[in-house]
Amino acid sequence: MASLQLCDGYLLSKPSVSPRFRLPQRISHRLIPKASASPPPPPSSSSSLSLTRRDLLYQSAAVSLSLSSIVGPAKADEQLSEWERVFLPIDPGVVLLDIAFVPDEPSRGFLLGTRQTLLETKDGGNTWAPRSIPSAEEEDFNYRFNSISFKGKEGWIIGKPAILLYTADAGENWDRIPLSSQLPGDMVFIEATGEKSAEMVTDEGAIYVTSNKGYNWKAAIQETVSATLNRTVSSGISGASYYTGTFSAVNRSPDGRYVAVSSRGNFFLTWEPGQPYWQPHNRAVARRIQNMGWRADGGLWLLVRGGGLYLSKGTGISEEFDEVPVQSRGFGILDVGYRSEEEAWAAGGSGILLRTRNGGKSWNRDKAADNIAANLYAVKFVDDKKGFVLGNDGVLLRYVG
């Protein structure tokens, strides 16, 4: 595992001037699906006047949207009991990874995914249009945009291979911020925390904070996760000796606490502001952990491979969990999102969608989602009226309940 390269407590970025580009005017928590970025296929040499594949895709999407306005709304079987599917002008192979809205402009939001997917909405998520990043398209990579966050009108996007974007005007313009090659691991999560300030996490457990628009990052922890485990393995952390050096999932609470799952799912770790290193914890269940996150009351939820759902006893960090019966039909549950302290939704493989109205004590399956042939990776609620479920194959569900 790469060691932290610090200079007086700071990870220094490359001393380069960030290019500025203007995008077209119109057109927390995180599971980390495994994928790798690969160079895009070479362009066809048949004709210099031929349209690119992306141009054709966008034009076909525009024609499709125009036709939908002529033939009328979608059929009734597309309307879910509490959700509706939003069809997007993207390749069906795209996996959607994150979504965020601008607090100062609530109707404006951005949707991220694999294959350099960046979409924008200006009507609260009813319709979406593609946005391009010229400086990224000039390179021989298809970026995987992992995480996005806004505070006021300031926003951040991170991706793989390493890319960091910053906006001060609600996404109208984006600056590309240079990053140090010494950054340990891949960036998987970012949180906007204030004026020109953000908090960033890598899949190797490094946590950095910036207060000057990302040009300098200060380490928030004093040692690597591997060093922590080497020091605590004799303390009875089961599975620590099998740690491969990365997280499979990491989620942040509104008050800045983190919970992360080891790549094998044999144990989990937590971190609170001010702690010098991650705190490892034994899993209290037999099956390996799929994902973990924070409940609205401050407690933890835990998902295991194969479809099990557990809730921690009480609020705060705990190693004691109670299993809650769920009708997952044998498919794995991948994420949980809270609409309120009492109501939450869980989503997973093969269109599994579950709801609780009593804080997680019991869950009912939304059978209307069974006909969606996609894995649903993330449940995101912006507030109690605006929520989305993100999946593979470009599947996006919008809360209408």
- Tell me the C-alpha distance between 82 and 89, whole Å: 23
Which DSSP state fits 119?
E
pTM, 2 dp:
0.80
Strand partners, 353: 347
What does the pLDDT read at residue 181? 82
**pLDDT given at position 385:** 94
What percent of the chain is predicted at pLDDT more than 90? 60
Question: Sheet containing 96-102: which strands, arranged edge to edge?
Answer: 96-102, 105-113, 117-121, 129-130
Question: DSSP assignment, residue 165?
Answer: E
Is the pLDDT score of 241 beyond 70?
no
User: 158 forms bridges with which residues in the sheet?
Assistant: 147, 164
pLDDT tens digits along 115-140 = 999 999 999 999 999 998 777 776 77
Per residue in 276-326, pLDDT (tens digit) is 999 999 988 999 999 999 999 999 999 999 889 999 998 989 999 999 999
Q: Is 60 exceeded by the pLDDT of residue 41?
A: no
At 260, the amino acid letter reads A
Question: CB of 15 within 8 A of CB of 7?
Answer: no
At residue 167, the pLDDT reads 95
Cβ-proximal residues to 374 (8 Å cutoff; 6+ apart), any chain:
350, 351, 391, 392, 393, 395
Residue 289 has a pLDDT of 96
Q: Which of 1-5, 356-360, 391-395 has the lowest mean pLDDT?
A: 1-5
CA distance 241 to 259: 20
Would you say 203 and 185 are in contact if contact means Cβ atoms under 8 Å apart? yes
pLDDT digits (tens, 9 = 90+) for 151-203: 999 999 999 999 999 999 999 989 999 998 888 889 999 999 999 999 999 99
pLDDT at 48: 38
Whether the Cβ atoms of residue 311 and residue 301 lie closer than 8 Å to each other = yes
